[in-house]
Structure formats: C-alpha cells, structure tokens
Structure 1
Amino acid sequence: MPKKSSTQESLALAFEILKRIPKSHQITARQLHQHLQYIGIERDLRTIQRNLEMLCEHFDIIRDERSKPYGYRWNKSSEGMALPKLSAQEALLLSLAEEYLIKLLPVNITASLDGFFQEAKSKLSPTEGSSKEREWLKKVRVVSEAQSLLPPNISSEIFSSISEALYQDRLLTINYYNVKQESKSALVMPLGLAQQGQRLYLVCRFDGYDNERSIAIHRITKAHASTFNFERPKDFKLSQYDADGRFGFGEGQKCQLEFSITKRAGFHLTETALSTDQTITVKEDCYRVTATVTQSKQLERWLNGFEDQVWDIKFKEL
C-alpha cells in the first residue's frame, strides 16, 4: 500500500488532537501526547505542542497561560469539534460504568473514553439541571458481602503495561513477590484480568508451563510488555477458570457437599442456592443441604464462618 502523504498525516494528527480537546475542563499537551500513544499514534511531545499552537490560531480553543504546563479547552460557547452532546441518561450510564467497570477496561480504551467520562460528569453537574439522573447516583451502590477493605495500591505504570500486554496478546516480563514475601521474576502470557472484591488478579501462563496461575496485581513490582506476540491457548477460557474455583484457591475438583445448618443461618440458601442441583430437606430444627460444588479453600472458609451453626459436613469427590 502507498504511504500516506505528510499532508494527510498532519491532517489526521490535527483531527485526533481536536477530538480530544474537551470543553468542560482543560487538558495539557502531555496528556494529549499520552492519549495519542494509547491509540498507536507515536509523535514527540514537541510535535503535539506545535500542533496545539497552530490549532489555537485557527479554532476557538482557549490556552490557559497562567501557569505551566499550559491547559487547553474549547471555548464553551463554541460548537468546535467537541464530543457529541450526551443525554442525561447516557451521562448516567457512563458515570456508573466509570465507577464500577473502569478497572476491567484496557488502559488505552479508558484513556480514549476519558473525554466522555468528563462530559458525563459535566452533564450531571448541578449547573446542568439533570437532577433526577444526578440523584440516581446517590440511590444505587454495589455492596460487599464480606468485611469492607480498602483497595491495595497498584502502580498506574505497572497496570498500564499489564493492560497493554493483555490487550495486544504480548508476552509480559514481571517482577513480583508471593505470599511468603519471596521476590520472583518471570516471563508470562497474560490471559485474563479478574476483580475479586478490592483486589485485581492477573491470570497468566508462565513461560515453559502449560497451566494457568493467578497473581495479585498489587504484588507485581515491575512489568514490561514486550514487542513479541503470542497465540492464546485455545483450551483456556477465563469463565471456566472461574467456574473451577481457581479464584477461590481450588483446583477445579468437583464434589458433592452435604451439611446441616440452622434455619436462621441457612434461610438465605433457600433464596440463593449453592448450585443448580442443590436440594434442601427441611428438618424440625435445621435444613439438610446437598449440592455439587467446587472444592476450595474459599468453600472451607465459608463453612467455617458459620461455626457451630453448621455440622455433620460431608464431602464426596466426583
């Protein structure tokens, strides 16, 4: 294919910059530089700065020169090339997505969506008058069944490298420490990302092995995405990995679980079953529960949490 002319490339770059200049807040040249890198446009910072100087001369873009780095935004009264106007309902959807899904999106996509998220916040601000939608954010919440914990610290640079490697199917070099505080290093195939409570886990296959493991991302101290791609194992499915109880520290071994539980402690099992084949026999003072489950440390902890309200526990391997 013939190469694009320098004029075409310049126009394409200017267009991408214009699309990413917000109206409701300022953005710096360095931030634009990073956003463009996320979508595969490699230009040096000075090139972005020169383009911004030129665009300010020809478009209704305001440059805030009160302090460095300079901030850029569209004039609020300008039609410009701002993002499409969001409805209040779309702004509400985006705000909820940012709060609950942001950690499961590739970094390059979250960067490209940043303008939409900012516009959504602006749309739901008190000055816009979208009161019903704004109030809805205060009326809904995802709550934890366990003791609430603060999320562990995760380096944004490390997470960006992991996200890029996972998104591009590239090999990843990592340094990390295990639960025994032992430092390790490895070359891995990143295969999946999972959020469990406040923790994020990288599911990967270590170089030279044919099984998968999970590594808590906050335990990764260094990560570098290589330029080498890999072919994802055709026999791996993240959904099956989860179903096998691997995030509950199991090995996928199914068993038939049977136990007695007081009616007060076990009533919730009549509403939310342990499995599709769960059966409950109602006794005079308890329930006798039978279900096919995945054997794991998480299951053992769950049962132990009931203390003397659960008894006569039986496991039968299948």
Structure 2
Amino acid sequence: MTKGNGMRATLQRRMLLLGMVPRQSRRISAPELVERLQARGLDTTLRTIERDLESLSAFLPLGRDERDRPYGWYWLADAPLQDMPALDPETALTLQILDAHASRLLPPSARERLAPQVARAREVLEATGQSSGLSLWPERVRILPNGPPLGPPAVPEGVFATVQQGLLERRCLDITYRSRSKERVRDHRIHPLALVFREPVTYLLATIEPHQDVLHLAAHRIEAAALTEVPARDPDAGFDLDQFIEQGAFDYPEGETIRIELRV
C-alpha cells in the first residue's frame, strides 16, 4: 500500500469511527467498534482502533469510562457538533422550528439530547447574516397550541434515554414505577413495545412480566430504569401499534357511534 492510499484508509476509518461513538451517557467499547467497522467492510484490528481512539481523544472531546474493561468511549455531553458535510441553512431552519414545536411535546430529558444540534443550527443561521431571510425566520414563525398550553411533566434524569435504548435494542427493562395515586411504588421487569407522545404526556407501551396485557406507562412516573441483557418479546397474540390505538387505548374507539350528554 502506498503512503497516499494508507493515509486515505486511515482517514476513512477514523471518520467512520467518530460517527459510531455515541454521546454521553451512552458508550461503546473498542471491540464493538471493530465489529461495526468490519461489518462496513473495513479490515481492521482491535489494536488499531485502540490507537485511533487514544490519538483522537488527545484533541477531540472524547471521554472513556474506565470502571470496566474494555473501556466505554463516548463524546462528552457538551461536545460541539461536528458537521460532515456542513449543515446547510435550510436544514438548520428546520431544526430550529422542530425544536420550537418539540419543546411542548417531548420531556425535558429528550429535548436535552437535541441541544447540540439546535445550538449548531442557531450558529449556522446567525452566520448567514441579514442578507438572508433565513436568519430572521425564527423571529417570524410561531407555533400556537390548539388550547391551553401544557408543559410536559419532568421525567427523572436518565430514565427517558434508558427507555429509548431498551426500545431500540429490543431489551427488557427493570423499572421502578409510581402509581397515579402516588401511594404505591413497585419494581417491575417489562418488555418495551412502543412510545406514544400524547401532548403533554409521553407513554411507554409495555407488558409486565409475567402478564401479556399491553399497558401504557406514563414516562414521568418511571422513577428509575435499568437496561437488562434479556431480549424483549412482543405478546403471544402479536402487537400492532396502530390497531392498539384505534381500539381506544388512548381515547374512544374509532368508527363506533356513541351517545354522549354534556353539561357545560
């Protein structure tokens, strides 16, 4: 391999590597990175990836968790977003509008995950200058609720990220759940199925061992959540999110005529 080809291979490997490292509080080990890079067709070794990580962390905001071996690597929570390719103004504007809308829908812990992207979008729009209408657009767009504005209830620190990870990776969660009356707090092993955002509350649809009934658990009542290595399973009868909603899980069933008397 020539020197030029070697440099290109190193650059390609390191760019892919950086894109695979998650942001704090998630982490990934060097062996996991080797597997993912090899799955992308790159012929590399554990020692090479360990050297890459050590070298890159010398000048990039990368951290590692040394409590266990192999170390878990991550981007620091306040690491600025690196754009490759650069974020264009139109996409930056879309992110700003999304942030304005999502602030009423998502719990604070979920919005915090978007903070680096939103901050970067703001920088891009400010850099466009007054010559572009895009820089003024956020001041000329408002999203108003169709009723009294309701702020989403706070979810305990770390819970929402753990719930998302369990759902994405199809793994069971061990949770501590507080009942609506706040009188009972119980520990459960659950199989996460779906997330439903019903303004302003976020619900986790799940089954609780050993039962098969699909329950909707309010995310703000989950006081603690821990990821397990146990694979999550759908109910034996199957699970269809749209059908579950249509059957009236969150409202009246669709398609049926009801008789209602209102006193206002």
TM-score normalised over the length of structure 2: 0.64
Unaligned runs of 5+ in 2: 1-9, 35-45, 62-75
Instruction: Tell me the residue number matched to 2:239.
Output: 236
Q: Of residues 159, 174, 189 in structure 2, which corresponds to 1:187? A: 189
| CA displacement 1:160-213 (0-9 Å, x = unmatched) | 111100111111111111112111221111111111112111111111222211
1:228 CA drift (Å): 1.3
Instruction: Tell me the residue number matched to 2:28.
Output: 37
Pairing 1:177-256 to 2, within 5 Å after superposition: 177-181=178-182, 182-233=184-235, 235-248=238-251, 252=253, 255-256=256-257
Alpha-carbon RMSD across the aligned residues, in angstroms, is 4.3
- Is 1:51 the counterpart of 2:52? The answer is no
| CA displacement 1:216-265 (0-9 Å, x = unmatched) | 111111111111112334631222222222123x6x48642356xxxxxx
Higher relative contact order (CA 8 A, sep 6+): 2
1:52 CA drift (Å): 3.8
1:123 CA drift (Å): 0.9
Instruction: Tell me the residue number matched to 2:66.
Output: none
Pairing 1:92-111 to 2, within 5 Å after superposition: 92-100=93-101
Instruction: Tell me the residue number matched to 2:84.
Output: 83
Identical columns (%): 19
> 2:125 corresponds to which letter in structure 1?
L
CA gap of 1:231–1:73, structure 2 versus 1, over 3 A, is: closer
**Higher gyration radius (CA):** 1
CA gap of 1:150–1:101, structure 2 versus 1, over 3 A, is: closer
3-state SS of paired residue (1:231) = coil
Instruction: Tell me the residue number matched to 1:15.
Output: 15
> 1:93 corresponds to which letter in structure 2?
T
Unaligned runs of 5+ in 1: 1-9, 22-30, 63-68, 75-80, 260-302, 309-318
CA gap of 1:198–1:73, structure 2 versus 1, over 3 A, is: closer
CA gap of 1:51–1:198, structure 2 versus 1, over 3 A, is: farther
- Figure out how many residues of one structure are paired with residues of the other and give that number: 218
> 1:241 corresponds to which letter in structure 2?
F
Instruction: Tell me the residue number matched to 1:266.
Output: none
Question: Is the CA contact (8 Å cut-off) linking 2:172 and 2:229 kept in structure 1?
Answer: yes
CA gap of 1:34–1:157, structure 2 versus 1, over 3 A, is: closer
TM-score normalised over the length of structure 1: 0.54
CA gap of 1:38–1:193, structure 2 versus 1, over 3 A, is: farther
Distance 2:80 2:144 in 1: 37
